[in-house]
């Protein structure tokens, strides 16, 4: 079975059903910071309180936004130009997907789909991101890990989180993460973070960004979204 739109919709439907039996997350968005009346005027580089806290990937607890993701404010350094990660993401050597081998034992039916998805990531992702994603698969080659259902999506998610995310994508990703923070998710699927969202948008060609955004809006995850781009 290939990781395609049908599989992804099945996954999101399952998560939605799980969410119906779970109370909404109790963690509120970060409020405005109260400045004492005796304090001097706040400097221009104070963090923008309108941005939500990105959930911590390991504990699920809310964490303060990464200062590197804060938007440019008037009087501070200007925003970087669009596609500022182009040079960084253009350098990379993806793994050879033909050298992947199935895990031991008779039950590894998803292996050939995973090998095909590896080729898809080489083709669709920019070289640096494709290298991270395909080498994640290569590390599982010949083990039971390569037989895991959806392992290509797991590796893609890890690659997005470890890749250069263009600052020009911050507004779109902040909006998605804010909306997704109100939707309960299964522990089997990592909650989308702004860093992962920005990495995903920066990993693909400009003509694929709209499809990637649509997928993340729908499923509140990014790893499986490359199936929309084939």
pLDDT, tens digit, 9 for 90 and up, residues 71-123: 333 333 334 445 679 899 999 999 999 999 999 877 899 999 999 999 999 99
Spans of all domains in the chain: 1-15+81-230
| Residue-level pLDDT at 84 | 79
The number of residues in the chain equals: 230
| Residue-level pLDDT at 59 | 42
pLDDT tens-digit readout, 163-195: 999 999 999 999 999 999 888 776 556 789 999
- Residue percentage of the chain with pLDDT more than 70: 62
Residue whose entry in the numeric block shows the structure tokens 């263009």: 166
| Residue-level pLDDT at 82 | 54
d(CA 128, CA 166): 14
- Residue 105: partners with Cβ closer than 8 Å, 6 or more residues away: 144, 147
Contact present, 202 and 212 (Cβ < 8 Å):
no
| Residue-level pLDDT at 186 | 65
Does residue 28 have a pLDDT over 60? Answer: no
Contacts of range 7-13, beta carbons closer than 8 Å, 24 or more positions apart: 7/150, 7/224, 7/227, 8/215, 8/219, 8/224, 8/225, 8/227, 8/228, 11/150, 11/189, 11/219, 11/224, 12/218, 12/219, 12/220
Q: For the chain, what percentages of helix, strand and coil (3-state, to nearest 5) are there?
A: 50, 0, 50
Which of 222, 230, 206 shows the shortest CA–CA distance to 126? Answer: 206
d(CA 72, CA 156): 29
Is 62 strand, coil or helix? strand
Give the Cβ contact number of residue 227 at 10 Å. 20
Q: pLDDT category, 44, cuts 50, 70, 90?
A: very low
| Residue-level pLDDT at 187 | 58
Q: pLDDT category, 138, cuts 50, 70, 90?
A: very high
Interhelix angle 5-20/209-219, nearest 10 degrees: 30
d(CA 199, CA 165): 4
The structure tokens listed for 112 are 């050939």
């Amino acid at each position: 079975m290939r990781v395609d739109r049908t599989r992804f919709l099945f996954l999101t439907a399952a998560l939605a059903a799980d969410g119906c039996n779970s109370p909404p997350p109790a963690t509120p968005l970060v409020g405005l910071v109260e400045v004492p009346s005796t304090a001097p005027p706040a400097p221009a580089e104070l963090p923008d309180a309108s941005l939500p806290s990105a959930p911590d990937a390991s504990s699920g607890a809310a964490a303060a936004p990464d200062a590197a993701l804060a938007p440019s404010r008037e009087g501070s350094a200007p925003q970087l130009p669009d596609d500022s990660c182009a040079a960084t993401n253009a350098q990379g050597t993806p793994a050879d997907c033909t050298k992947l081998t199935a895990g031991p034992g008779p039950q590894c039916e998803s292996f050939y789909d995973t090998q095909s998805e590896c080729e898809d990531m080489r083709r669709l992702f920019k070289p640096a991101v494709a290298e991270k994603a395909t080498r994640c698969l290569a590390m599982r080659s010949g083990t039971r890990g390569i037989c895991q259902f959806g392992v290509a999506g797991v590796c893609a998610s890890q690659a997005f989180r470890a890749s250069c995310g263009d600052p020009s994508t911050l507004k779109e990703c902040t909006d998605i993460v804010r909306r997704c923070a109100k939707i309960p998710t299964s522990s089997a699927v990592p909650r989308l973070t702004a860093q992962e969202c920005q990495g995903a948008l920066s990993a693909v060609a400009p003509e694929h960004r709209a499809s990637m955004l649509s997928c993340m809006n729908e499923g509140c995850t990014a790893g499986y979204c490359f199936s929309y781009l084939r």
